[in-house]
Structure 1
Amino acid sequence: MPTFVLHVKAELENVRTLSLQKSAHYCIDVKESAGSEQRDGVYVTANDTHELSGSKGTANFVMKFDKASKHEAYLNVLEIKGVTRDITEEDNGKWVPVIAFECRGLEPVAYHPEEEWAAVGGGGQKFDQVDLREDWADFDEKLGESVSVMGLESKFELHKGK
């Protein structure tokens, strides 16, 4: 099954790390692999498990593009050891692979960030539910300075490894 890796980049100011929360719900647009249909704004989380019809397998997200079809499209949320990781201050403005989606019958085409991020400021202060729908800024009390994540961009790339 093809695996698509979500890469993001942003300008970080006084942010030591930016990471996806373990309970993250990803808002993505998906398109039919063998067609042109697209569904926008579907939510996917690694915490959900759905049984696949006619199979003993499970997936984190299951859908049908055509309700009359027997074929289900599905995906699983993955962390790929040695590939996906948190964003660090050294990654400022660079593309970083943060999470992966193993897909069958669909492909992710767009990511819509929400509150699934967490940050650690330069002084060590933790910020949960960082909302990156727009630029984000706060104040790191330990550092005594502002912290921010600006200009978040994202893209999906097909993962070539195992």
Structure 2
Amino acid sequence: MVNFMLYITAELENLTNFQPKGGVDDPNFTYYFKLKCENCGEVTDKETCVSLSETLPLAKKGSTNLIQKCKFCKREGTVTMIPGRGSPLTHDYSETGKYAPLMIFDCRGFEPLDFAFSSGWKVESLEGTKFEDVNLDAGEFAEYDEKGECGVMISNVRSMFKVVDLSKKNF
């Protein structure tokens, strides 16, 4: 079992608290990323989708959010989401180029790669205007904040997966 934390960052112009629409533990938010088989190294052609609201029973005990077979070697692997450890990307983090932790994935048999930003995000202006259901399929978002009388923008969205030790709190 290896736990991977998904970290995100972006350039936030006059914006803060960038996160999934229902918060960092939004059960309906869908994460899209490719998977690499830890047995043979095959990478999925398309992104796999995983959300907290979709669970499958495991053969022995418990549940998981994804059970998938590698197309090449036919080995089965699972991805289980672990909520409660993420936080929104703030303006301060964005300004300093830091990444915000978003979600932990307990991966067995697979390694997550290449997170794809899509729709279902929310962010708020520094003046408090909320922008809901932000779509980042094109890689950026631009709007005008009437209250703050300024343009707002999300650009240069980036992500990375890092192995984390759940017994330590320093991630």
Q: Same fold (TM over 0.5)?
A: yes
Aligned match of 2:109 in 105, 110, 113? 105
Name 1:116's counterpart in structure 2: 120
Aligned match of 1:42 in 43, 48, 58? 48
- Cα distance in 2 between the residues matched to 1:157 and 1:56: 27
Per the TM alignment, residue 79 of structure 1 is displaced from its structure 2 partner at its CA by 2.6
**Equivalence map 1:10-159=2 (5 Å):** 10-21=10-21, 22=26, 23-39=28-44, 40-52=46-58, 54-66=59-71, 69=74, 72-81=76-85, 84-92=86-94, 93-133=97-137, 134-159=139-164
Aligned AA (1:102): D
Per the TM alignment, residue 154 of structure 1 is displaced from its structure 2 partner at its CA by 1.0
Q: Deviations over 1:120-159 (max 9, x none)?
A: 1112111111112311111122212111111011111001
Q: What is the DSSP-based 3-state SS (H/G/I as helix, E as strand, rest coil) of the residue aligned with 1:91?
A: helix
Per the TM alignment, residue 16 of structure 1 is displaced from its structure 2 partner at its CA by 2.3
Q: What is the DSSP-based 3-state SS (H/G/I as helix, E as strand, rest coil) of the residue aligned with 2:53?
A: coil
The structure that is strand-richer by fraction is: 1
8 Å Cα contact 2:40/2:73 also seen in 1? no
Q: How many residues align?
A: 158
Q: What is the DSSP-based 3-state SS (H/G/I as helix, E as strand, rest coil) of the residue aligned with 2:39?
A: coil
Q: Deviations over 1:37-79 (max 9, x none)?
A: 1213111111101122x3232111111115995x531111223
Aligned AA (2:114): A
Q: Deviations over 1:63-121 (max 9, x none)?
A: 1115995x53111122343xx21111111132221111111111101101001311011
8 Å Cα contact 1:26/1:116 also seen in 2? no
- Cα distance in 2 between the residues matched to 1:88 and 1:96: 8
Report percent identity of matched pairs.
27
Aligned Cα RMSD in Å? 1.8
8 Å Cα contact 1:9/1:94 also seen in 2? yes
- Cα distance in 1 between the residues matched to 2:163 and 2:112: 10
Superposition TM-score, scaled by structure 1 size: 0.89
Aligned AA (1:156): F
- Cα distance in 1 between the residues matched to 2:16 and 2:33: 26
Structure 1: tracts of 5 or more residues without a match:
none
